[in-house]
């Protein structure tokens, strides 16, 4: 081979190599993998929400039920104690005195249980924590969706702009990815049910 021919082949190879490195051969799969990773983040945040929120609601519901039971017992014992009275004529009746003492003892025991449970009576705190967790979870979901849409925008821009469009079509057969779009139902705030149903 002549020297000119070797230089021509080397020159064409250099041009081809430069063309391949500048036409997005590496940028396209990188952008696509980035978009796929961001989609996995979206799915992860939805799974976190699906796992976390029902458990938090159950915890808050149980704490509220425990508090409701303690307060109900105190209210019932107080009502019972106030219904039983001993008049001056009944001071000599051991049965009347026993009923009065029993009602007062039930109230005393209920009040003691309330005092023992008081440090753990935190329904309002639990509800605030739940509200904070829901807000934080929804923010994480929103950030993950935004990051995914940004990665899709970058990928779609890469495969549609010159010179990467050549590699996108010829080498990869790349197709645009779809951005995340919220459906109509997601425009409404989620409901949290503290009813007895599971």
State how far Cα 30 lies from the chain centre: 29
Q: What is the pLDDT of residue 198?
A: 45
pLDDT band at 143 (very low <50, low <70, confident <90, very high): very high
pLDDT band at 151 (very low <50, low <70, confident <90, very high): very high
Q: What is the mean pLDDT of the chain?
A: 77
What percentage of the chain carries pLDDT values higher than 90? 10
How far apart are alpha carbons 79 and 30 in whole angstroms?
Answer: 72
Please name the residues in contact with 103: beta carbons below 8 A apart, sequence gap of 6 or more: 77, 80, 81, 83, 84
pLDDT at 76 over 80: no
CB 122 within 8 A of CB 63: yes
What are the extents of the domains in the chain? 25-187
Half-sphere exposure (Cβ direction) of 173: Cα atoms closer than 13 Å:
0
Average pLDDT of the segment spanning 84-91: 75
pTM for this predicted structure: 0.57
Please name the residues in contact with 17: beta carbons below 8 A apart, sequence gap of 6 or more: none
38 three-state secondary structure? helix
């Amino acid at each position: 081979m002549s020297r000119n021919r070797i230089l021509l082949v080397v020159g064409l190879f250099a041009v081809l190599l430069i063309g391949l490195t500048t036409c997005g051969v590496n940028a396209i799969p990188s952008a696509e993998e980035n978009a796929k990773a961001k989609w996995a983040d979206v799915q992860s945040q939805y799974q976190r929400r699906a796992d976390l929120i029902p458990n938090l609601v159950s915890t808050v519901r149980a704490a509220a039920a425990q508090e409701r039971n303690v307060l109900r017992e105190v209210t019932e014992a107080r009502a019972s104690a106030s219904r039983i009275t001993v008049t001056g004529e009944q001071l000599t009746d051991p049965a009347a005195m026993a009923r009065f003492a029993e009602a007062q003892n039930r109230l005393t025991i209920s009040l003691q249980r309330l005092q023992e449970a008081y440090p753990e009576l935190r329904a309002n705190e639990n509800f605030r924590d739940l509200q904070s967790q829901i807000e934080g979870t929804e923010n994480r979901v929103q950030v993950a969706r935004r990051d995914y849409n940004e990665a899709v925008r970058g990928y779609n821009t890469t495969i549609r702009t010159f010179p990467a469009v050549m590699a996108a079509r010829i080498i990869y057969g790349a197709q645009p990815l779809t951005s995340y779009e919220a459906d109509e139902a997601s425009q409404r705030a989620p409901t949290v049910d503290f009813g007895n149903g599971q």
